[in-house]
Amino acid sequence: MHSSLKFTFTFLAVALVAASCSSDDIVYKDASAPVEKRVEDLLKRMTLEEKLLQLNQYTLGMNNIENNLGEAVREIPAEIGSLIYFGDDAILRNKMQHRAMEESRLGIPILFGHDVIHGYRTIFPVPLAQACSWNPELVRQGCAVAAQESYSCGVDWTFSPMVDIARDPRWGRVMEGYGEDPYAASVYCQAAVRGYQGDDLGAENTIAACLKHYVGYGASEAGRDYVPAEISDQTLWDTYLPPFEAGVKAGAATLMSAFHNISGTPASGNHYILTEVLKDKWGHDGFVVSDWDAVVQLKNQGMAADDKEAAEIAFNAGIEMDMVDDLYKKYIPQLLEEGKVKMSQVDEAVRRVLRIKFRLGLFDKPYIEEKPESERYLLPESLDLAERLATESMVLLKNDDGLLPLDIRSRIALIGPLSSVRRDHNGNWYGRGKETDVIPFNEGIAEEFSGRLTVAEGCDFEGDDRSGFARAVAAARESDVAVVCIGHKSRWSGENCSRSTIEIPQIQLDLVRAIKATGTKVVLLVSCGRPVDLHLFEPEADAILLTWHPGTMAGRAVAGILSGRSNPSGKLAITFPYTTGQIPIYYNRRNSGRRGTQGIYKDITSNPMYQFGYGLSYSTFEYGPLTLSSENVSRNGSLQASVTVTNTSSRDGQETVHWFICDPVSRITRPVKELKYFEKQLIPAGESRTFTFDIEPMRDLGFVDRTGRRYLDSGEYHIIVGTQQATITVTD
């Protein structure tokens, strides 16, 4: 059709639609009307061009994410559906929103997104660290602060929580998730969604969540980012899908499709997961955004011959919004003409995007109040929370002879590449966090302790320059204790940060050994965004505290633990391998057919350095007998397992009790044990508290098959807590 004729038709169509609606029956502008009515009313008024722009996302502001730099900042149409927003306040966002509301024909607000992964400006520990707190309520509160700060700076939507199960710490993005266990990740996922979205998505200081990266991205082969993963349907259902299902049930507004190829079908072209599971089986009524360029990358993955086919495959698979590669806007009109995409599909995709915008209240409150900086972020209560979460995320791995906590008057030599840094404590994906906000270890410790503090870096993270060793050794000799701050740079984990080894560079080990040789007691502070190889460091240290990348309040949190102001309570949410050669190694593995020395390494131990769930406290806890309300339970019945834990120390402390189950015999064989519940309680010195696991057989003992169907076998099961195990029987 000749373009001028086409223009005439379009113009007439628009004019007819506009004329047919008097101002008082513009339902979509009526805040009192039900969302679904507003969606349908708006949808029927939209032209194809307007609809397709709602399915596209560009960027606004300076993109500082090195993996995506260089994206052309296009002339942004007022009708664009979404923008990834790189701004520290709402000013630029409001300017763009005014264009959308006033220059476009229908005044559809833009949805502004950003990667708020573990804080916006107040930076919390990386999510993998937060998972070691076993305090989902604290994680929820942290996400609520992140939502408040994001909202006040113009962000309506975060590309978080990332809930990829990861069992290969060579993969840099292990830092962004909640570890190796599907149940734990499900609990944290729900906490994060509630934190971001609150009880009312339309309320102030709430933002839309985005479960990512859907699904199985953490299984990328050999920990190499973006590469294909071999995942059976059985493993997809019993390991990788559960946190996403939990997030959908918690009401997560959106999901993000992943980059990788799932056993031959790329995630971003995978109709099974994007439509049959997410929409048909789980009933998700929000929308899916692709990851950055994930649509166009279907060509590189060999699924699409060209851009147009990539758009056809991704759209028909079930991705509603295309992140930054612009293919939907360019090619869906042709695909419609060729009958490869139906108008009803376009309408459904637009319906889902509009639905989230209406639920967020963007039509009725499109602009964000432009508050002063002091009211937007880094509020005192937010910083206090950040310190608490950092403290509870840290894991005490060793404490020989109760060296920690240290006497407040101790003369401390603070040594190592992380002794005074700021930036690395924010970890990767640090949102709009500023390193100048960070309290470094040296400042935190100086503030906490009254004894002499000598700081001697000793060496850099890597390299061969040992010229700083002598000063560090001298400082250690003249001190009561050497606190050596070792580990990885924050930029060594995160996206596109795969490492062939999880070792800490040799120069740091040499430094620790040189300090150890002085005879001064050695405390290691280990900073990292992934499990690291500590097996050579362990013998050199009297105490080891895993600090992860703890965020803005790093120095104060670590000082509080060193001084005993805080009692460490973290426990590992991911296995620490003895060395890279053991990877993958995780606790919930299936049994082998061989026992004893068959099937173990001949050159190193086959046990990890630190188990899932491991972590010490300054308190000591004694577990009483595991008791059951019954030894038998019917399929639809319930049963209580309880254990009483006594704090046998003189110091109040928090203890997390992990409840595992084991189904020793099943046609679809089950892991040696599976976490099914956990609870953390403060137990005052000398007192006892009872921890109870209310077992619902189908939920807690059952399993899903390769189609996602849940089963429950009758017969024996083991309930495991601490070192105890009890057997129950599920009767018909």
Residues at the site binding ligand GLC, with contacts judged by CB under 6 A: 65, 67-68, 115, 159, 212, 291-292, 495
Structure tokens at 302: 């060999």
Q: Are 41 and 65 in contact (CB under 8 A)?
A: no
Least distance CB 67 / ligand GLC (angstroms) = 6
Closer to ligand GLC by CB, 293 or 540: give it.
293
Nearer to ligand GLC, 208 or 683 (CB): 208
User: 490: number of CA atoms within 13 Å, CB side?
Assistant: 18
Which of 510, 538, 523, 511 minimizes the C-alpha distance to 605? 538
Residue 238: active-site member: no
CB nearer ligand GLC, residue 161 or residue 697: 161
Q: How far is CA 729 from CA 639, 661, 712, 714, in A?
A: 11, 12, 12, 7
Q: CA dist 447 to 137, 179, 441, 555, 560, Å?
A: 29, 33, 10, 9, 10
- Give the 3-state secondary structure of residue 412: strand
* Shortest spacing between CB 499 and ligand GLC, in angstroms: 18
Q: How far is the CB of 293 from ligand GLC (least distance, A)?
A: 8
Residue 359 tokens, joined: 């639920």
Residue 505 CB partners (closer than 8 Å, separation 6+): 461, 462, 463
- Three-state DSSP at 329 gives helix
3-state secondary structure 194-241: HHHHCCCCCCCCCCECEEEEECCHHHCHHHCCCCCECCCHHHHHHHHC
CB of residue 544 vs ligand GLC: minimum separation in angstroms? 31
Where does residue 611 fall: left (phi above 0), alpha (psi -120 to 50 degrees), or beta otherwise?
beta
Nearer CB in complex with ligand GLC: 65/704: 65
Is residue 551 exposed (0-12), middle (13-18) or buried (19+ Cβ within 10 Å)?
Answer: buried
Q: Which of 254/552 has CB closer to ligand GLC?
A: 254
115 or 245: CB nearest ligand GLC: 115
Q: Catalytic residue among 156, 164, 168, 291, which?
A: 291
Residue closer to ligand GLC by CB (options 93, 422) is 93
Of the candidates 56, 74, 54, 52, the one whose C-alpha atom is nearest the C-alpha of residue 324 is 56
**Measuring CA to CA, how many Å separate 594 from each of 597, 600, 671, 720?**
8, 10, 15, 23
Q: Shortest approach of ligand GLC to residue 179 CB, angstroms?
A: 18
- 10 Å CB burial of residue 435 (0-12, 13-18, 19+) is middle
Q: How far is the CB of 378 from ligand GLC (least distance, A)?
A: 23
DSSP state of 175: G
Please, what is the minimum distance in Å from the beta carbon of residue 495 to ligand GLC?
A: 5
Q: Which is nearer to ligand GLC, 10 or 67 (CB)?
A: 67
DSSP string, 585-654: --SSPBPPS--TTTTS-SSS-SS-SB-TT--B-SS-EEE---EES-SEEETT--EEEEEEEEE-SSS-EE
**Distance in Å, CB of 674 to ligand GLC, minimum:** 28
Burial class (CB in 10 A: 0-12, 13-18, 19+), 18: exposed
Q: What is the set of active-site residues?
A: 291
